[in-house]
């Protein structure tokens, strides 16, 4: 864990929510891949007005992610973000990283987040909970689905794009199959089956 402090004032507007996390992920993806890691999820959490902000980065590696690896990659990621923020053309990134924040680097854990189509595809046959940003079923306000992942298909309008697709899961209670576009999924994670 690393605390980053910067008192320089930024005049560029902060990217909102997911856009800010996506911007950070774009900056870091290539760097962490040099060490054999993949960013599973980058997310901002914490206080309003920049107080108590936390930047969480969940990393995965074919051999798993140890505590020592998290410590090492926290330094690498912190240095990379500091360098990117200092770049003359940093703009929105400098505005995002300027206010104080704490960097947390972690493994995805046993109830790992599922973000990209490839994440869902890797865990077909496993139980997951999926929360959508709006109801997706006719005559239902349901936004949370618990089931077994049965498919993760490409979106025909965005072939090859891992951030688009349609996932299918068989409901744990009704055994009905639900098909949900990634575009409406707010959060998804595996359910621990220990």
- Cα distance between residue 64 and residue 96, in whole Å: 30
**Model confidence pLDDT, tens digit, residues 109-147:** 999 999 999 999 999 999 999 999 998 888 889 999 999
* CATH 3.30.300.70 correct for 2-106: yes
**Model confidence pLDDT, tens digit, residues 20-37:** 888 999 999 999 999 999
pLDDT value, residue 136 = 86
Over range 157-177, report the average pLDDT: 94
pLDDT value, residue 50 = 53
* CATH 2.30.30 correct for 117-190: yes
Structure-block tokens of residue 47: 């206080």
Cβ(47)–Cβ(96) below 8 Å: no
Q: Where are the domains of the chain?
A: 2-106, 117-190
- Cα distance between residue 176 and residue 32, in whole Å: 39
From the CB of residue 40, how many other CB atoms can be counted at a distance below 10 Å? 21
**Model confidence pLDDT, tens digit, residues 48-103:** 655 688 999 999 999 999 999 999 999 999 999 999 999 888 888 888 888 889 99
């Amino acid at each position: 864990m690393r605390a980053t402090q910067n008192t320089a004032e930024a005049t560029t507007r902060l990217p909102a929510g997911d856009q800010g996390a996506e911007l950070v992920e774009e900056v870091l993806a290539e760097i962490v891949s040099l060490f054999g890691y993949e960013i599973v999820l980058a997310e901002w959490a914490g206080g309003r007005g920049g107080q108590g902000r936390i930047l969480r980065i969940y990393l995965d590696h074919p051999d798993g992610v140890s505590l020592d690896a998290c410590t090492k990659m926290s330094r690498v990621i912190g240095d990379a973000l500091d360098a990117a923020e200092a770049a003359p053309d940093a703009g929105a990134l400098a505005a995002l990283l300027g206010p104080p924040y704490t960097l947390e680097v972690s493994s995805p854990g046993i109830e790992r987040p599922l973000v990209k189509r490839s994440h869902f595809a890797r865990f077909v046959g496993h139980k997951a909970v999926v929360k959508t940003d709006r109801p997706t079923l006719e005559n239902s306000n349901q936004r949370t689905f618990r089931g077994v992942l049965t498919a993760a298909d490409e979106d025909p309008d965005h072939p090859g794009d891992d951030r688009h697709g349609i996932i299918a899961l068989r409901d744990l209670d009704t055994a009905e199959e639900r098909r949900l576009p990634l575009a409406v999924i707010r959060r998804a994670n595996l359910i621990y089956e220990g």
